[in-house]
């Protein structure tokens, strides 16, 4: 797909339009994309509509109320309105996941591109490093890194970042290995354009699609990892609105007030599902073999 | 082998460089003299390469450090809980394959029809479900609500009923208690053990089930387009034979690869699932260790997880050769 695209922008825009057309055609994917958009908008707008003070305002007389017309999803053990807290939580979970995947993407793309383009011993060494990272189950490694860094939201995010980049580096390196043999790369080099510029301006834009697809697919998983480690007690503190944390708090009341566990979990499920549907669709759209 | 050495570099870095190992041996009453003695004894002032060599040497000799939260050395502590995690993981793999493969096949055979859409949605939901939440919901439904409704319910946590185990103790043979109870003919406990295993293993397996379903579906679709399938059909072979004898085995190759990777997901899910179900395995141990700053135990768990994953990939490689005789080593 990337093969015939010259490095000017107009065909790229045509390509994007075509991709958008395909995306809209598939209803399930469209639904996923719309939900994902809604989730991101909620994350941005939520704290504007609902005062962030809700998260810290404790109102014990109305704690553990079942869902009602006043409190759509009931109230939690601090007497906070669960619906409002979930909306507020969305921001942290979504922004953390986007940050994690974004940073991983940058690290992975740079490492993969340089490793693949330069080749030789450096490439060999880099790939062995990714081997090592990939040989430890992601969540276990994140757990170990988070434990070594100590508790706290930033450390948790950092831990998941450290675990995530090798996958992208591997995919991009594979792409670059094929791409760097192409004639235009030789032409650019013969024109006297430096390696750095060739890699950043030409090689990366031509090889990045599969990595972008993978990143979208990973978003759903990263949300689960983040919420999972948060559930185990890393990251957010008790009153911080965060979905995994809400489930930890609700766990003690699971038989007494099951909504405290049910609704935050459903929220995580919806967010993750939306990103997965979207990623699935984008993959289908960008993979020419699946277009037929 | 190389990879495992690399993993030790990571665990060394995390436990010895990032965290001050001295803290492990100190209390607030440790005198400066004692600190100096500890530093000398554990070579804490030596250059890193030497400390790393000592670290790896100790690992190889089975000295994985001392766990504060267990009050015992790390390796025996983890080894004692390894079978519980193993049992849970194996049961989860069974759920994964039993659920994933048939539905993947159905989905491929009814491509773009209702069963296909349903299966794909279930698969995606599986991938998107937080395992710890699923565990809690399963407890709520199959333990609490079934109990309330007077239906036969499943136990919500632990590996067995302690009172029952006192009456019919399971003799340890392999450590895998279900297997042990069958070997020793202790079928009352077998029942109880399996009942305890159902919910946690389903919760753990559900995530990977979706992955297997999707890969089974796509590789089956790919295989069904091949010439030899058209040939098999044109020979007049019944559809059943075409699917199960010709298509399935070829479609299994990518599935097996992914199943190997799924082991990673299952090991990653173990700390969460074991915590939710109070399952006495390594994952829960590691989670508890975090609360007590017990770095050697966490690193030990990481090393074992890497070991299991590397072995799983080895098994996958061996299975390839069986599935596709063209692959030789």
**What residues pair up with A155 in beta bridges, in sequence order?**
none
Q: Using an 8 Å CB-CB cutoff, list chain B residues near A244.
A: 130, 132
pLDDT tens digits, B10-49: 888 887 777 777 776 667 777 778 778 777 777 777 777 8
Q: Please state, for a pLDDT cut of 90, what percent of chain A lies above it.
A: 15
Q: Say how many Å lie between the first and final Cα of chain A, rounded.
A: 13
Read out DSSP for B252-283? HHHHHHHHHHHHHHHHHHHHHHHHHTT--SHH
Record: contact B264-A268, CB cut-off 8 A: no
Q: How many residues does chain B have?
A: 329
pLDDT tens digits, B304-323: 888 888 888 888 888 877 77
The pLDDT confidence band at residue A224, using thresholds 50, 70 and 90, is: very high
Residue B2 pLDDT greater than 80, yes or no: no
* Residue whose C-alpha is closest to residue B285's, from B269, B267, B297: B297
Complex-level ipTM: 0.84
Cα B195 to Cα B314: distance, rounded to the nearest angstrom: 32
**What residues pair up with A81 in beta bridges, in sequence order?**
A75
Q: What is the pLDDT of residue A292?
A: 42
Cα A219 to Cα B232: distance, rounded to the nearest angstrom: 42
Distances (CA, A) of A2 to A107, A177, A279: 22, 14, 19
Q: Using an 8 Å CB-CB cutoff, list chain B residues near A147.
A: 14, 289-290, 293, 295, 298
- Asked if B239 and B293 touch (Cβ cutoff 8 Å), the reply is no
The pLDDT confidence band at residue A101, using thresholds 50, 70 and 90, is: very high
> At CA A35, angle to CA A29 and CA A41, rounded to 5?
140
The pLDDT confidence band at residue A287, using thresholds 50, 70 and 90, is: low
Q: Does B6 touch chain A (CB under 8 A)?
A: yes
Distances (CA, A) of A219 to B101, B127, B205: 26, 12, 21
Cα B216 to Cα B100: distance, rounded to the nearest angstrom: 8
SS (H, E, C) B52-99: HHHHHHHHHCCCCCEECCCCEEHHHHHHHHHHHHHHHHHHHHHHHHHH
Record: contact B136-A244, CB cut-off 8 A: no
Cα A202 to Cα A8: distance, rounded to the nearest angstrom: 10
What angle do the packed helices B74-109 and B282-291 form, to 10 degrees? 120
Residue of A nearest to B269 (CA): A139
pLDDT tens digits, B167-209: 777 777 777 877 888 888 788 888 888 889 999 999 999 888 8
Cα A139 to Cα B267: distance, rounded to the nearest angstrom: 8
- Lowest average pLDDT, out of A35-39, A42-46, A245-249, B19-23, goes to B19-23
Q: Does B15 touch chain A (CB under 8 A)?
A: yes
Nearest Cβ partner for B3 among A131, A234, A262: A131
- Asked if B212 and B262 touch (Cβ cutoff 8 Å), the reply is yes
* Residue burial B17-33, b: 16+ Cβ < 10 Å; e: rest: eebebeebbeeeeeeee
| DSSP H stretches of helix in chain B | 2-12, 22-25, 32-41, 48-60, 74-109, 114-128, 131-138, 146-148, 162-167, 177-183, 187-224, 227-234, 239-241, 248-276, 282-291, 295-323
Residue B240 pLDDT greater than 70, yes or no: yes
* Cβ neighbours of residue B4 closer than 8 Å, sequence gap 6 or more: A135, B303, B306, B307, B310
Q: Does B307 touch chain A (CB under 8 A)?
A: no
Q: How far is A7 from chain B (nearest CA, A)?
A: 33
Q: What is the pLDDT of residue B188?
A: 82
Residue of B nearest to A251 (CA): B136
Residue A100 pLDDT greater than 90, yes or no: yes
Record: contact B133-A268, CB cut-off 8 A: yes
Q: What is the pLDDT of residue A1?
A: 43
Q: Which of the 8 DSSP states describes residue B170?
A: P
| DSSP H stretches of helix in chain A | 10-25, 27-49, 82-118, 120-134, 138-149, 153-179, 183-190, 195-197, 204-207, 209-231, 243-251, 259-286
């Amino acid at each position: 797909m990337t093969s015939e695209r010259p490095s000017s922008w107009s065909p790229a825009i045509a390509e994007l339009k075509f991709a958008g057309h395909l995306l809209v055609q598939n209803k399930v994917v469209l639904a996923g994309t719309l939900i994902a958009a809604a989730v991101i908008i909620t994350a941005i707008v939520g704290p504007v509509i609902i005062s962030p003070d809700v998260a810290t305002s404790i109102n014990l007389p109305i704690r553990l109320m079942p869902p009602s017309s006043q409190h759509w999803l009931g109230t939690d053990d601090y007497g906070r309105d669960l619906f409002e807290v979930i909306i507020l939580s969305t921001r942290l979970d979504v922004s953390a996941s986007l940050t994690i995947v974004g940073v991983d993407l940058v690290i992975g793309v740079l490492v993969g591109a340089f490793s693949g383009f330069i080749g030789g011993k450096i490439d060999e060494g880099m790939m062995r490093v990714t081997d090592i990272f990939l040989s430890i189950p992601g969540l276990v490694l994140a757990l170990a890194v988070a434990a070594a860094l100590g508790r706290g939201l930033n450390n948790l995010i950092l831990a998941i970042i450290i675990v995530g980049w090798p996958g992208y580096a591997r995919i991009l390196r594979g792409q670059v290995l094929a791409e760097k043999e192409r004639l235009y790369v030789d032409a650019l080099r013969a024109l006297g354009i430096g390696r750095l510029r060739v890699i950043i301006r030409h090689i990366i834009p031509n090889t990045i699609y599969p990595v972008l697809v993978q990143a979208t697919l990973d978003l759903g998983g990263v949300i689960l990892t983040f919420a999972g480690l948060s559930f185990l007690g890393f990251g957010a503190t008790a009153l911080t609105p965060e979905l995994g944390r809400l489930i930890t708090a609700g766990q003690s009341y699971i038989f007494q007030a099951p909504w405290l566990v049910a609704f935050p979990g459903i929220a995580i499920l919806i967010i993750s599902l939306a990103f997965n549907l979207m990623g699935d669709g984008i993959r289908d759209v960008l993979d020419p073999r699946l277009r037929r | 082998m190389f990879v495992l050495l690399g993993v030790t570099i990571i665990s060394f870095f995390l436990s010895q460089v990032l965290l001050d190992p001295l803290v492990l041996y100190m209390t607030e009453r440790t005198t400066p003299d004692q600190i100096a003695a500890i530093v000398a004894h554990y070579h804490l002032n030596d250059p890193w390469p030497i400390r790393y060599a000592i670290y790896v040497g100790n690992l190889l000799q089975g000295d994985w450090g001392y766990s504060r939260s267990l009050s015992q050395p790390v390796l025996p502590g983890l080894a004692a809980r390894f079978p519980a995690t193993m049992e849970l993981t194996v049961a989860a793999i069974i759920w994964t394959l039993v659920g994933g493969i048939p539905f993947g096949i159905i989905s491929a055979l009814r491509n773009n029809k209702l069963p296909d859409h349903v299966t794909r949605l279930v698969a995606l939901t599986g991938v998107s479900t937080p395992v710890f939440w699923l565990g809690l919901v399963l407890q709520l439904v199959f333990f609490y609500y079934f109990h309330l409704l007077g239906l036969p319910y499943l136990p919500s946590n632990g590996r067995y009923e302690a009172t029952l185990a006192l009456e019919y103790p399971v003799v340890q043979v392999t450590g895998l208690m279900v297997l042990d109870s069958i070997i020793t003919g202790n079928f009352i406990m077998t029942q109880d053990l399996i009942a305890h295993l159902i919910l946690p293993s389903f919760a753990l397996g559900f995530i990977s089930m979706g992955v297997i379903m999707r890969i089974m579906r796509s590789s089956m679709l790919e295989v069904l387009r091949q010439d030899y399938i058209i040939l098999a059909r044109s020979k007049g072979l019944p559809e059943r034979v075409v699917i199960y004898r010709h298509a399935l085995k070829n479609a299994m190759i990518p599935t097996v690869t992914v199943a190997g990777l799924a082991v990673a997901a299952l090991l990653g899910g173990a700390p969460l699932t074991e915590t939710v179900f109070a399952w006495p395995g390594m994952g829960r141990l590691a989670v508890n260790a975090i609360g007590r700053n017990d770095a050697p135990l966490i690193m030990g768990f990481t090393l074992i997880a890497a070991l299991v994953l590397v072995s799983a990939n080895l098994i996958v490689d061996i299975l390839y050769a069986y599935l596709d005789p063209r692959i030789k080593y």
